[in-house]
Amino acid sequence: MGSMLDGVQKMRSEAERLAVAAIAKGGRLLGLTDQTIIEIIIRQYFLDLAAAGRRHLVDVGAAYGSVAEVFLKDGWTADLFEPDTNCQRILARLTARYGSQVRLFPYAAADLDREGVPFHQNATAGLSGLAPSPFGATVQALMVRAVRLDSFLAANKVARVDLLKIDTEGNDFAVLESFDWQHLSPPLVFVEYSYFFPGQDQSTLRFAIGRMQTRGYAAVIFEYNDDGNFMRGSWNHRLVAVHLDNSRIPDRPQAFGNVLFYRSNDVHLLESLIRVIRSGS
């Protein structure tokens, strides 16, 4: 057991070392954003593994469905959570195209089940959430149903989750805590973090990673810099760091990015990550 853990730790260190060199070089890796992580790391990870049965995605904050469609094209089923009515109109095309493969729930995932909570619809697609966004402008507050993932997925007979993706504009870690980790244990979990939001900072991220460690997951933290673009209404950003040592938490006041949680002994995920980093240097 000790030698296996040592091997995993060496792979984590190697991935970090390669990422530092590739980012300093200014290569293609700088363009590794959330959507490309989905497309070239997470999707390939699952394609390389033999599947016993049909894979299933739970997508919380589905927006326009760009993440979900990556996996629906591969034959997955998916449960999409999206309270924004503007996004729902786009997602309706997805549900029409893939039929019984996909279910759309017009609800907000949260830490409590509630019948009516204010949902702040933003003028910019993808920035709506249970609290006003630090970017863009709130158009209106919609009253939506809020659900805990554990009870809601159980009630809807979800017995398998291969990928849990959470992007809720500031409510991500509360949603993460509402998942049923005892009965559902996804190989990969992909969560957004952003210190721009009230209630998210270095200590919040560290706590979330610590909670996931107790569940048997390690973390890859992707950290970005927007170079001031977000405040100007431009959504361009670039990769500035990849952290695999859980003691290294982004400490910039406006750090943001994604966390990819994987089972702590999952060598295949580390191999996939190292391959992508090498190809992007």
Task: Quote the pLDDT of residue 4.
Answer: 62
Number of other CB atoms surrounding residue 4 within 10 Å? 10
Answer with the residue of higher pLDDT: 205 or 232.
205
Beta strand 238-243 with 217-225 is antiparallel
User: pTM, whole model, 2 decimals?
Assistant: 0.95
Q: In the structure encoding, which two tokens stand for residue 208, read together?
A: 């979330």
Kind plus residue range of the DSSP H or E element containing 261: strand 256-263
Query: CA separation (Å) from 94 to 13, 79, 124, 240, 253?
Result: 40, 12, 20, 33, 37
Domain tally, the chain: 1
Q: In the structure encoding, which two tokens stand for residue 24, read together?
A: 């300093």
Quote the domain boundaries for residue 42.
2-279
Which among 192, 184, 254 is positioned nearest to 215, based on CA atoms?
184
CA dist., res. 254 & res. 194, Å (int): 7
Segment 23-46, tens digit of pLDDT: 999 888 999 999 999 999 999 999
Task: Quote the pLDDT of residue 2.
Answer: 58
Task: Quote the pLDDT of residue 183.
Answer: 95
The residue written with tokens 């954003």 in the block is: 33
CATH number of the domain encompassing residue 234: 3.40.50.150
SS3 state of residue 225: strand
Lowest mean pLDDT among 74-83, 84-93, 243-252: 243-252
Q: In the structure encoding, which two tokens stand for residue 70, read together?
A: 């990556």
